[in-house]
Structure 1
């Protein structure tokens, strides 16, 4: 699932190793996979339907390569700062933004991370609402919005757990649900394809609607989540010199799985492919079990996704005069009083209700995911890394390295602008 602290606190396995740099290669690989793979993958078959199987495969591949390259740019930027300033402490994406562009850089970076986390959290709730509505569609007593708000009390209660290590079992459970769901979906797709229920000629390789390409690309970019985890992942590794190779290997495997998942999903259902492929599954016990397992996994992983949002909001609020006027413990100024805890709990509850309200107003999973991928994800994943890289290392780069950075920068801006317009007006 999606995780981030800026997404930094989001990967439980990272907690024990991020500060000391003792994570093994296997642990780091697991953290990379956990950080990147999320619910967006279940929308890839629909993206292939919109763009065509060849254009969709190409788009996912380009998105994967570009994201991996830009993640490595962030590591280069931090290494450059570390070599110039021994006191330079760059732990997060926001820290890097501050070093490159001052307070403005920090605010812009953290704001985009905040919005992307909100987008990911809302997509979780949309997924839960649509799947529960599909499972219980014969019972018309509850609406789509009602199913979303049905899980809100659980989410509020889980959000009051401050220790991310306590949420680790939930994250592991969710990852198991994801793997099983993808395996069962692929099994159903292969059976449907091998049963001769489709004609390959009926599947478009490239859509005639040019607007479908950026729409699908936005979904592909959204699928490669966890960008804000880059610096924490690299710093957590015992053998940091191997991080670049490990990241490339992880992205190669994930990209291949994404392409195959999207391809077989589109091949199986063609023009009938739903924006969440689990909604295409037949009405039998195991498909319902898959959907329920995914929903349950997302319910328990939602606190991990929303945790960075709480951190950012609470961090800002604690600096306000109103919060500082709250009475402190007479014996320990650093301790948290009951009143402070109560205010924190209320703030978290309000945030989750707000996210649920926004999710209930979103018309469709794929449109929303594409919009988030085309805007904040494109800016966070491509525009900012290229900008920071040019700012810090521009003078030492050769012509082709500079050209590539500028290409990523301008293409990212154009993609964000056109992708946003295309997602709003519709494909």
Structure 2
């Protein structure tokens, strides 16, 4: 393949540290073998040779795309107004399309097996660094958001909870729950096999569906009703809404990992369509329900609005707590693997566990410092998710294959996505940072 007039780049063992692959395939290449040989071997293997099945990959994909964004989606709709639902559909379609672009970029060369490899194929060392840093930063901040969500909801379930550590030190409220949740989540981060992790992912996918029914139950049976009137369009809130919508679909950093973990990689495009359609239906249902219930008064997490003491409210919160617990490990795995491949020459189990433990501890510290869930997720969506899920896949695709090899309609579509994505990133980042600084 040509590289838009430039010589194509491929990973090399002699490259600097940041040029080495961020993630290897699940059950990847053996040392000393050429990447092309590994790919040829995979092509000849039967589907049962190793890796996750189609169904398991769908569970992992659904768990990667759907998750805590479900709780903030009514707040996003309240920020943008009813007409911003069109923006939700636009973001979903664009992110599904750019996921397909990533898969196509991976087919450009047998050596392209990860997101950083795609960046290197397009722009060399600088492209690899960008494709390494953006997804890792995005996933890391999302993991922090998970802890904030868990702490907020547990504090609502068990208000005024405290723990005395002696010497006059008392930990209470959200701070206590941040620590307790991290201890519970830590063992799941030690899992190395995504095929095994799919069983954990299944619980997160089920929790997302059950949560919508819990909110519906609170509305119809427990008498909350549809009290919110809402507004048709709120221009001032569109930057926040667009950032949160993009955050909801910002799982692209994991897509190459999921594709490489599949037995039948040629079916990954079907996995993408299933995941994005299912998640959009779930997101749309929750957005409409939450906004009809509470209107412009909806909280950044809709569970915080639910009436206290009701069984449906408690069940909804417990269900909401399952999702971050199941998804945290899937999110942290690429971050941990990136660090392990940089620092560890071999596969040392004890050091791997130590690195993943350090990641969990660091996310707890930051969550204690910046406990603003809605604003933090809007910032992640506007700044990092837009770049990793919209802009970078489009730019790399055009660079790798060249405009001459693409149809005119495809080029126009990709350029349009780049322009609109840039607008979302600029406006959303400014709005989110302004809100966070104001709350400090």
Q: Same fold (TM over 0.5)?
A: yes
Whether the 8 Å contact between 2:102 and 2:393 is mirrored in structure 1 is yes
Q: Say whether 1:395 aligns with 2:422.
A: no
Whether the 8 Å contact between 2:60 and 2:198 is mirrored in structure 1 is no
Q: Which residue number corresponds to residue 145 of structure 1?
A: 175
| SS of residue matched to 1:179 | helix
**In structure 2, distance between residues paired with 1:300 and 1:230:** 17
Q: Say whether 1:78 aligns with 2:106.
A: yes
**In structure 2, distance between residues paired with 1:172 and 1:96:** 29
Whether the 8 Å contact between 1:178 and 1:294 is mirrored in structure 2 is yes
**In structure 2, distance between residues paired with 1:37 and 1:74:** 19
Q: Which residue number corresponds to residue 293 of structure 2?
A: 268
**In structure 1, distance between residues paired with 2:420 and 2:24:** 25
Where do residues 58-207 of structure 1 align in structure 2 (5 Å cutoff)? 58-79=86-107, 81-82=108-109, 88-139=110-161, 142-191=172-221, 197-198=226-227, 202-207=229-234
RMSD value, Cα:
2.9
| Compared CA separation, residues 335 and 94, structure 1 to 2 (3 A) | closer
**In structure 2, distance between residues paired with 1:303 and 1:246:** 20
**In structure 2, distance between residues paired with 1:51 and 1:374:** 15
Deviation at 1:313, TM superposition (A): 1.3
| SS of residue matched to 2:395 | helix
| Compared CA separation, residues 198 and 8, structure 1 to 2 (3 A) | farther
Whether the 8 Å contact between 1:38 and 1:223 is mirrored in structure 2 is yes
**In structure 2, distance between residues paired with 1:133 and 1:21:** 50
Match for residue 282 of structure 2 among 257, 262, 267: 257
**In structure 2, distance between residues paired with 1:243 and 1:160:** 26
**In structure 1, distance between residues paired with 2:196 and 2:273:** 31
Deviation at 1:28, TM superposition (A): 4.7
Whether the 8 Å contact between 1:6 and 1:113 is mirrored in structure 2 is no
Deviation at 1:287, TM superposition (A): 2.1
After superposition, give the CA deviation of every residue in 1:165-186 in whole Å (9 maximum; x if it has no partner).
5544433333333322222113
Of stretches 297-306 and 24-33 in structure 1, the one that deviates more from structure 2 is 24-33
Q: Which residue number corresponds to residue 353 of structure 1?
A: 361
Whether the 8 Å contact between 2:157 and 2:314 is mirrored in structure 1 is yes
Deviation at 1:6, TM superposition (A): 5.2
After superposition, give the CA deviation of every residue in 1:250-294 in whole Å (9 maximum; x if it has no partner).
423322331221011100111221111111222223422332343
Instruction: Give the length in aligned residue pairs.
Output: 384
After superposition, give the CA deviation of every residue in 1:149-197 in whole Å (9 maximum; x if it has no partner).
122333334434444555444333333333222221133235578x765
Deviation at 1:52, TM superposition (A): 0.8
Where do residues 16-95 of structure 1 align in structure 2 (5 Å cutoff)? 22=47, 26-55=55-84, 57-79=85-107, 81-82=108-109, 88-95=110-117
Deviation at 1:27, TM superposition (A): 4.8
**In structure 1, distance between residues paired with 2:343 and 2:144:** 22
Q: Structure 1 length as normaliser, TM-score?
A: 0.80
Of stretches 263-272 and 284-293 in structure 1, the one that deviates more from structure 2 is 284-293
| SS of residue matched to 1:360 | helix
Where do residues 187-336 of structure 1 align in structure 2 (5 Å cutoff)? 187-191=217-221, 197-198=226-227, 202-207=229-234, 210-234=235-259, 236=262, 238=264, 240=266, 243-244=268-269, 247-283=272-308, 284-318=310-344, 336=348
Of stretches 161-170 and 405-414 in structure 1, the one that deviates more from structure 2 is 161-170
5+ residue gaps, structure 2: 1-21, 27-41, 164-171
